Structure formats: C-alpha cells, structure tokens
Amino acid sequence: NAGVTQTPKFRVLKTGQSMTLLCAQDMNHEYMYWYRQDPGMGLRLIHYSVGEGTTAKGEVPDGYNVSRLKKQNFLLGLESAAPSQTSVYFCASSYLSSYGYTFGSGTRLTVV
Amino acid sequence: GENVEQHPSTLSVQEGDSAVIKCTYSDSASNYFPWYKQELGKRPQLIIDIRSNVGEKKDQRIAVTLNKTAKHFSLHITETQPEDSAVYFCAGTTGGTSYGKLTFGQGTILTVHP
C-alpha cells in the first residue's frame, strides 16, 4: 500500500516547455486534488476531481490542465511553462468529502 | 468561497512550554477543520481534525478547539518538544457540494528551542 505517489520529484523546465505531473493513489479514493505551495501563501487549490472522468477548477487554475481517465490517476499538465509556475506541487486524495487528505511527497518544479 | 486566516506566522517557544495557533474562517457552513504538520522538505501530514458538531478534541499532547459562533478554531500543543518544530497548517471545508475542497491557512512556523 503505497498511498499517494507523485512523479517526478524534481524538474527544471525552460519557459514555454510543457510537462505532465503524475499522481497515483492505491486507496480507492474518489476525490483527488492538485495544490501548489508557495512561501507565505499556504497551499492553493489548482484543480480537483470528484471521480473518474470528472475534473473541476480550483482557486488558481490558469495555465494548468488536468485529466482523470482512471480512478487511481490524476494528471496535471503545464502546456507552456512560465516562471510564475515555479512552485512545489502536491497531489492529495480523500475517501469522501469532509475527510482528511493523504498527500503525495510533492514535485519541486523550477521554470527558468 | 471559504477564506481561512492563520496566526501567528511564526512562533518560537522553549521546550516544555505550550504553543497555540489560531485560525478564523469566513463560511459559516464550514463543518470540517483539519490541522496538518509539515516538516522541512516533507509532505503535509494530518495530525488532528474536528467537525462542527464537536467543541474540543484531544489526542495526547495535541488538542483542537472550535468556536462556531466566533468562527475560529485553535491548535494547542502542550509540553512541546524539539520534534514538534515544523510548519503547521489549518484548513476548513464546507464538505457536501464543495467536494471536500480544503482551504488552507498561510501556515505557522513553530520552532521549539531545547
């Protein structure tokens, strides 16, 4: 039982490049979330999913896209990376609404 | 939507002292309030949570209190130890149609000096 696994752990991108972050959970959780963490700003919700095939925008969705083709996987895409997207990205999942999250180990992304 | 404010942003205590971190929330429909601890370079981990039908919850040296009327909740750590040093985040959600989306406070850096 691995919980929530994120890949990659680190990445450096050049401005304009694209990439996909993968989140996988093996707990059969319905809900999955992508947050970004920046110094002094806590964790801000980018996109979330309430089940296979569903996605919705969070607080800071611009510049990101997501997909949830399988229940256990939630992908976060950056089509054209910008320096403002330099951040630590955390994926999380929860069993139901109003239950605590299980977080992945994070992806540190630097856009130069 | 929900807005969660957390204070203080930094907190320094001596080992053995108590530490208190406070959060306020804006949405009176919020019903679930977890607290997360994040050590340097690690993922946030749930340490305690409270639901709106409960006023206080304890787990060993950690307790959380909730005041629904004033819309604030607090984390209390007693007999602090150096390993309690970390960033602590509060969060809130309305659950239901908000699909468990947590809104996080800005975080408190707790330093416990030996």
Q: Which of A16-20, B34-38, B50-54, B107-111 has the lowest mean pLDDT?
A: B50-54
A10-19, pLDDT tens digit by residue? Answer: 999 999 999 9
Tally C-beta pairs within 8 A across A and B. 64
A34 touching B (Cβ < 8 Å): no
CA of B69, closest CA in chain A: separation in Å?
A: 20
Helices and strands (H, E) in chain B, number of each type: 0, 11
How far CA A101 is from CA of A12, B6, B113, in Å, comes to: 27, 19, 30
Higher per-residue confidence, B90 vs B96: B90
Across A64-78, A95-109, B18-32, least confident range: A95-109
On chain A, the residues whose CB falls within 8 A of the CB of B31 are 98
Q: Which of B42, B51, B101 sits opposite A58 (nearest CB)?
A: B101
With bands split at pLDDT 50, 70 and 90, how would you rate the model's confidence at B43? very high
Contact A89, A75 (CB under 8 A): no
Which long-range contacts does B38-42 make (Cβ < 8 Å, 24+ apart)?
B38/B86, B38/B87, B38/B88, B38/B89, B38/B107, B39/B86, B39/B87, B40/B86, B42/A105
Angle among Cα A108, B45, B104 to the nearest 5 degrees reads 75
Q: Please tell me which of the candidates A42, A45, A96 has its beta carbon nearest to residue B89.
A: A42
Cβ <8 Å between B101 and A50: no
Which chain A residues touch B6 with a CB distance below 8 Å?
42
Kindly report the CA angle at A61 between A57 and A64, in degrees rounded to 5? 115
Residue B96 has pLDDT above 70, yes or no: no
Is the pLDDT reported for residue B10 higher than 70?
yes
Give the Cα separation of A44 and A74 in Å (integer). Answer: 17
Helix (H/G/I), strand (E/B), else coil: A5: strand
Residues of chain A with pLDDT > 90: what percent? 89
